[in-house]
Amino acid sequence: VVVQPGRGESCQNMVFVGEAHPLARSIPDMDMRTTAEGSPRERRGEVARIEAGIPRFGAEMDENVLPQECGLGETAVSYQKGCYIGQEVLNRIHSFGHVNRELRGFVPVVDALPAKGDKILCQGKEVGQLTSVTRSLKYGRNIALGYLRREAMQAGAELFVQSPAGLDPIKTVALPFAL
């Protein structure tokens, strides 16, 4: 199955699902710097997932992440269903309106590719962490997913990613990416 995100786009922006399509084998491996491992097709799928801002269990989600933190509160949680484990916590968040951190999209200001796990700083204080990073084929630049604390989500907040090389400025963007 071939899924093309937009009309008139090149085959570099297609995502191949299922058996390898002959066209998928003909696409050259471009710059596939990503947190994904595996075959070129698996890496392309990971790049498309990150570009779409879709959380993945094991990267953005685990047993310590609430559905509302990764943007799944309205689609993956039933607030009308009967008793289930964690229902009180999820309903309390739904009633009071916010969580303390949320999944966000990030774009480094410089062309350095950050690493999974790099810390996000605001005014010298740790306010988040990157969970998935890649070189976007669609946008031709580095992008990342990660969690950001509520206090750093204010407009104009200067954010930096801390890597072994030092501090690099980084910007937040809405998900899915639309650069």
Does the predicted TM-score (pTM) go above 0.85?
A: no
Name 121's Cβ contacts closer than 8 Å, sequence gap at least 6.
127, 159, 160, 161, 162, 167
Q: Across the strands, what pairs with 3?
A: 15
CA–CA gap between residue 1 and residue 4 (Å, rounded): 10
> H/E/C letters for each residue in 31-80?
CCCECCCCCHHHHHHHHHHHHHCCCCECCCECCCCCCCCCCCCCCCCCCC
pLDDT of residue 150: 92
Per-residue pLDDT tens digits of the chain, which is 179 residues long = 333 444 333 334 444 344 444 433 434 444 445 556 778 888 889 999 999 999 999 999 999 998 899 998 888 888 788 788 888 888 888 888 789 999 999 999 998 899 999 999 999 999 999 999 999 989 999 999 999 999 998 877 899 999 888 999 999 998 999 87
pLDDT of residue 159: 97
- Residues in the chain, how many? 179
